[in-house]
Amino acid sequence: MKPRRFQTRVIAMMIAVVAAAQLATFAVVTVATQRAVSSRLEQELSVGHRVWEQFQQSRSEQLLASASVLADDFGFRAAVASGDAPTLRSALGNHGTRIGADLAWLLDRDGRWQASADGMAAPATDVLAGLTRQAAQEGVALQTVVVENALYLVVMLPVLAPERVGWLAVGRRYDDALAQQYRSLTGLEAAFVTTGGTGTRVHAATLPAEQRAMLATAWTPGGAQVRELAVGGDHYLSDSHPLTRGDDARLVLLDSYDRALAPYRTLRSRILLLSGLATLLAVGVAVALGRGISRPVSRLAQAAQRIQAGDYSQAPASGGSREIVELAGALGRMQADIAAREARILHQAHHDGLTGLPNRRHAYDRLQAAIDAGGEVAVLVMDVNRFKEINDTLGHAFGDQVLREVARRLRGALDDTQLVARLGGDEFMVMLPGLPCEAARTRAQALWHALKQPLDLSSTRVGVEGSFGLACHPQHGDDPDTLLRRADIALYDAKAAHGGVAVYQPGRDESHLRQLQLMTDLRQAIAGGQLALKFQPKLDAASAHVQHVEALVRWHHPVLGPVAPDEFIPLAERSGFIHELTRFVLDQAMACNAAWRAGGLDLGLAVNLSAMDLLDADLPDYIEQKLAAHGVPAARMILEVTESALMQDIEYALRMLHRLKACGVRLAIDDFGTGYSSLAQLKRMPVDELKIDKSFVMQLEEGSDDAVIVRSTIELGHNMGLSVIAEGVENDRALALLRHYRCDMVQGYLFSAPLGSADLLDWCRRREAAVPAGDLTLETDA
Ligand code: C2E
Ligand code: CA
Ligand code: CA
Query: 532: CA distance to ligand 3 center in Å?
Result: 19
| Position in ligand 1 atom list of the atom nearest CA 642 | 34
**Ligand sitting nearest the alpha carbon of 747:** 1
- Split at pLDDT 50, 70, 90, the class of 395 is confident
How far apart are the C-alpha atoms of 334 and 329, rounded to whole Å? 9
At 647-705, the pLDDT tens digits run: 888 899 999 999 999 999 999 999 998 878 888 889 999 999 999 999 999 999 999 99
Q: Which of 756, 755, 737 is nearest to 746 (CA)?
A: 737
**Ligand sitting nearest the alpha carbon of 551:** 1
How far apart are the C-alpha atoms of 68 and 59, rounded to whole Å? 14
Sequence-distant (≥ 6) Cβ neighbours of residue 567 within 8 angstroms: 518
Classify 171 as helix, strand or coil.
Answer: strand
Q: Which of 587, 608, 632, 643 is nearest to 747 (CA)?
A: 608
**Maximum distance among all Cα pairs of the chain, rounded to whole angstroms:** 217
Task: Determine the straight-line distance between the first and last CA of the chain, rounded to whole angstroms.
Answer: 100
Helix axes 74-82, 85-98, angle to 10 degrees: 160
Query: 566: CA distance to ligand 1 center in Å?
Result: 8
Asked if residue 2 has pLDDT above 70, the reply is no
CA 413 to chain centre: 46
| Position in ligand 1 atom list of the atom nearest CA 691 | 3
What are the CA-CA distances from residue 341 to residues 108, 248, 347, 348, 696 (Å)? 130, 103, 10, 10, 69
At 7-65, the pLDDT tens digits run: 777 778 877 888 888 888 888 888 888 888 888 889 999 999 999 999 889 989 988 99
Asked if residue 126 has pLDDT above 90, the reply is no
- Split at pLDDT 50, 70, 90, the class of 99 is confident
Whether the upstream peptide bond of residue 474 has omega within 30° of 0, thus cis, is yes
440 conformational bin, left if phi > 0, alpha if psi -120 to 50, beta if neither: alpha
Surrounding residues of ion ligand 2, Cβ less than 5 A: 608, 640, 670
Asked if residue 319 has pLDDT above 80, the reply is no
Strands 234-242 and 466-473: unpaired
The pLDDT value recorded for residue 776 is 46
In sequence order, what are the beta bridge partners of 144? Answer: 153
Instruction: Note whether 440 and 432 are within 8 A (CB).
Output: yes
The pLDDT value recorded for residue 223 is 66
| Position in ligand 1 atom list of the atom nearest CA 747 | 15
How far apart are the C-alpha atoms of 639 and 623, rounded to whole Å? 10
Q: What is the mean pLDDT of the chain?
A: 88
The pLDDT value recorded for residue 778 is 41
In sequence order, what are the beta bridge partners of 231? Answer: 234
What are the CA-CA distances from residue 135 to residues 127, 129, 130, 168, 636 (Å)? 12, 10, 9, 10, 180
Query: 722: CA distance to ligand 3 center in Å?
Result: 18
| DSSP per residue, 326-390 | HHHHHHHHHHHHHHHHHHHHHHHHHB-TTT--B-HHHHHHHHHHHHHT-S-EEEEEEEETTHHHH
Query: 573: CA distance to ligand 1 center in Å?
Result: 16
Helix axes 257-308, 6-72, angle to 10 degrees: 180
Query: 603: CA distance to ligand 3 center in Å?
Result: 21
Q: Is 730 close to ligand 1, i.e. is its CB under 6 Å away?
A: yes
Kindly report the protein residue whose alpha carbon is nearest to atom 5 of ligand 1: 727
Asked if residue 311 has pLDDT above 90, the reply is no
At 569-622, the pLDDT tens digits run: 999 998 999 999 999 999 999 999 999 999 899 999 999 999 999 999 999 999
The pLDDT value recorded for residue 191 is 93
The pLDDT value recorded for residue 4 is 62
| Position in ligand 1 atom list of the atom nearest CA 552 | 38
Q: Is 749 close to ligand 1, i.e. is its CB under 6 Å away?
A: yes
Lowest mean pLDDT, pick from 181-190, 457-466, 471-480, 604-613: 457-466
How far apart are the C-alpha atoms of 549 and 589, rounded to whole Å? 10
Asked if residue 116 has pLDDT above 90, the reply is no
Sheet with strand 141-147: strands edge to edge: 113-116, 103-108, 164-173, 150-160, 141-147
The pLDDT value recorded for residue 480 is 95
Mutate to test the pocket of ligand 1, among 553, 574, 727 (most ligand atoms within 8 A of CB): 727
How far apart are the C-alpha atoms of 42 and 721, rounded to whole Å? 157
Q: Is 352 close to ligand 1, i.e. is its CB under 6 Å away?
A: no
Query: 564: CA distance to ligand 3 center in Å?
Result: 14
Q: Is 670 close to ligand 1, i.e. is its CB under 6 Å away?
A: yes
What DSSP element (H or E) covers 25? Answer: helix 6-72
Q: Which tops the pLDDT comparison, 767 or 622?
A: 622
Query: 670: CA distance to ligand 2 center in Å?
Result: 6
> b or e along 406-444 (b: 16 or more beta carbons within 10 Å of the residue's beta carbon)?
bbebbbebbeeebbbbbbeebbbbbbbbebebeebbebb
Q: Which of 100, 48, 53 is nearest to 245 (CA)?
A: 53
Strands 113-116 and 103-108: antiparallel
How far apart are the C-alpha atoms of 235 and 226, rounded to whole Å? 13
Surrounding residues of ion ligand 3, Cβ less than 5 A: 671, 693
pLDDT above 70 as % of the chain: 97
Asked if residue 779 has pLDDT above 70, the reply is no
| Position in ligand 1 atom list of the atom nearest CA 693 | 3
Q: Is 671 close to ligand 1, i.e. is its CB under 6 Å away?
A: yes
The pLDDT value recorded for residue 459 is 67
Asked if residue 81 has pLDDT above 90, the reply is no
- Split at pLDDT 50, 70, 90, the class of 324 is confident
What DSSP element (H or E) covers 308? Answer: helix 257-308
Sequence-distant (≥ 6) Cβ neighbours of residue 740 within 8 angstroms: none
At 228-237, the pLDDT tens digits run: 888 888 889 9
At 691-732, the pLDDT tens digits run: 999 999 999 999 999 999 999 999 999 999 999 999 999 999
Query: 642: CA distance to ligand 2 center in Å?
Result: 8
Query: 748: CA distance to ligand 1 center in Å?
Result: 10
Asked if residue 781 has pLDDT above 60, the reply is no
Instruction: Note whether 503 and 437 are within 8 A (CB).
Output: yes
Query: 760: CA distance to ligand 2 center in Å?
Result: 17
**Ligand sitting nearest the alpha carbon of 728:** 1
Whether the upstream peptide bond of residue 436 has omega within 30° of 0, thus cis, is no
| Position in ligand 1 atom list of the atom nearest CA 585 | 41
Asked if residue 525 has pLDDT above 90, the reply is yes
Instruction: Note whether 673 and 709 are within 8 A (CB).
Output: yes
- Split at pLDDT 50, 70, 90, the class of 76 is confident
Instruction: Note whether 554 and 562 are within 8 A (CB).
Output: yes
Q: Is 569 close to ligand 1, i.e. is its CB under 6 Å away?
A: yes
Strands 419-424 and 377-384: unpaired
Backbone φ and ψ for 202, nearest 5 degrees, come out as: -100, 115
Lowest mean pLDDT, pick from 533-542, 627-636, 642-651, 766-775: 766-775
